[in-house]
Amino acid sequence: MNKSVLAAVCTGALLLSTQAMARVDVFLGLPGVVVAPPPPVYYPPPVVYEPAPRYVPPPSAWYDDRWERRQYRRWLRDQRERERWERRQWERAHGWRDRDDD
């Protein structure tokens, strides 16, 4: 019975000492000498270069469509010619001008 009690006490002491060692960062080296491990070295994190965000033009109401611009310019030219023609007709009808220069 003494041997079984001694074995149980040794096993309990071993388990308790391992739990105590797991909780504290102080280790026993030689009997009676307390040795602390060196502090952990945390290296700086690696530098991660993120690419710059791509340029996104802001949305606009006026779309720069060459075909639409060309059509608008033609319409504007025709509109101005129409207005000149109407003005000449009005001036002729009311006696403002007799010449066709404009």
Q: Name the burial class of residue 91, with classes exposed (0-12), middle (13-18) and buried (19+) by CB atoms within 10 angstroms of its CB.
A: middle
Write out the H or E segment, with its range, that includes residue 77: helix 66-94
Q: How confident is the model at residue 7 (pLDDT cuts 50, 70, 90)?
A: confident
Q: What is the pLDDT of residues 8-55, one digit of tens each?
A: 877 877 666 655 555 455 555 556 666 777 888 888 877 887 777 677
DSSP string over 23-67: HSS-EE-STT-EEPPPPPP-PPPPP-PPPPPPP-PPP-SS---HH
Q: What is the pLDDT of residues 91-102, one digit of tens each?
A: 888 887 655 555
- Round to whole Å and give the CA distance between 69 and 63: 9
How confident is the model at residue 73, as a pLDDT? Answer: 84
How confident is the model at residue 16, as a pLDDT? Answer: 64
How confident is the model at residue 95, as a pLDDT? Answer: 82
How confident is the model at residue 22, as a pLDDT? Answer: 53
**Taking the domains of the chain in order of start, what are their residue ranges?**
63-101
How confident is the model at residue 39, as a pLDDT? Answer: 85
How confident is the model at residue 97, as a pLDDT? Answer: 64
